[in-house]
Copies of this chain bind each other. A is one copy, B any other.
Amino acid sequence: MARIRLGMVGGGNDAFIGGVHRIASRIDDRFELVAGALSSTPEKARASAAALGIAPDRAYGSFEEMAAAEAARPDGIEAVSIVTPNHVHYPAAKAFLERGIHVICDKPLTATSEDAEALERAVAASSALFILTHNYTGYPMVRQARAMVSEGALGTIRIVQAEYPQDWLTESLETEGVKQAEWRTDPARSGAGGAVGDIGTHAYNLACFVTGLKGTELAADLQSFGAGRRLDDNAHVMLRFSGGARGMLWCSQVAPGNENGLRLRVYGDKGGLEWAQEDPNYLWFSPHGEPRRQIRRMGAGADMAANAVSRIPSGHPEGYLEGFANIYTAAAEAIRAVQDGASRGDAIGLLPGISAGMEGMAFIRACVTSSARNAAWVAL
């Protein structure tokens, strides 16, 4: 299969997530990065493009320029990765979707509900795929967990415990010139949610992905512990799911000793599952009344749902980049399928798309609304 011609919006030299997307796109060799609007600063955009081996005539100063020029080329990009701060997601995605260029977009979906709704319309109006990088769903043992729940290994789900603690905003780095901290705590660029938007959405998405349940309502108590901080940096959320399951979700950016402590625990009337992102090659399964079992990626007990997205044998750890690459590789297959005539719905399969994005926006909005009402229940 020929590599897919890929462009990138954002992700200039000193950005974190742009580099992650590029590595993820290369691991299985399904993409070739050929164009970029890598920075809103023209010189930086050019320098970053050069460093990445992008031809000078395809190093653009803006996403609008790139969308127009690439759409006009016979060898123009087939897909674009959008790795900017949240407030740019919508206008950039729209520009490419309108031209039939497939979009792979970082999460959360957008900075505002208005943008989210407009983006939803833009996706509906386009023939192109829209893929949201809820990358944790790409981990093999997350796939294993989802398959096991779906097959009934846990029975009826009763309890969902999700958490995502970090510590990087324990001090108010946004006042000390740290760029990541600045935009992540700026409502204009991040939207109404701080921790709930940046990491809470990941935890919520993971809970829904694994259990197959939908959240129906939530009650949230949000805090901003950092001095002068304008967005939440810690959130406590109670959840109610379709079918009667209940849950809790904790996300925090101010919990010292935690780096990316995303963790999911799910319990049904027949068994329990536990998974932690920092130790991702293992899934703990406790059939009720039997010893706990450690299911290992590509090891005994792992099934096709996990093995199909694994590359190397058990005992050789795969990590974050490989999980992220699984999103990209599935995106490549979906793009080729659509190009070959498949419907978007058939092609996208397990990939997170616009509906996962809208669910994430609803989660953020409900958290902020509930907290403003002293943690009253708000429908999702």
Contact = CB atoms under 8 A, between A and B. Distances in A.
Interface string A167-183: 10011000000000000
Interface in A208-260: 219, 221, 223, 225, 234, 236, 238, 240, 246-248, 250, 252, 254-260
Interface string A111-126: 0000000000000000
Contacts of A91: none
Interface in A1-58: 2-3, 16, 19-20, 22-23, 26-29, 52-53
Contact of A290 (B223, B278, B280, B301): B301
Contact of A294 (B250, B267, B291, B374): B291
Given A238-B236, A315-B278, A319-B322, A288 B225 contact: no
Given A29-B53, A53-B29, A315-B278, A270 B288 contact: no
Contacts of A279: 279, 317
Q: Main SS of chain A's interface residues?
A: loop
Given A219-B375, A250-B161, A293-B292, A318 B316 contact: no
Given A255-B159, A291-B295, A374 B375 contact: no
A326 interface: no
A288 B277 CA distance: 21
A259 B294 contact: no
Contact of A300 (B240, B284, B289, B319): B289
A246 B259 contact: no
Contacts of A28: 23
B256 A27 contact: no
B256 A270 contact: yes
B290 A292 contact: no
Interface residues of A, number: 86
Given A257-B284, A259-B314, 16 more contacts: A23-B311, A158-B223, A167-B288, A171-B269, A171-B288, A252-B267, A255-B265, A255-B267, A256-B272, A257-B267, A257-B288, A258-B272, A259-B316, A277-B315, A291-B295, A292-B293
Interface of A: 2-3, 16, 19-20, 22-23, 26-29, 52-53, 154, 158-159, 161, 166-167, 170-171, 219, 221, 223, 225, 234, 236, 238, 240, 246-248, 250, 252, 254-261, 265, 267-272, 274, 277-281, 284-296, 299-301, 311-322, 374-375, 377
24 contacts: A2-B53, A19-B311, A23-B27, A26-B27, A27-B27, A29-B52, A159-B254, A159-B255, A166-B315, A171-B288, A219-B221, A236-B247, A238-B238, A255-B272, A256-B268, A257-B271, A257-B286, A259-B299, A259-B315, A279-B279, A280-B317, A291-B296, A317-B317, A317-B320
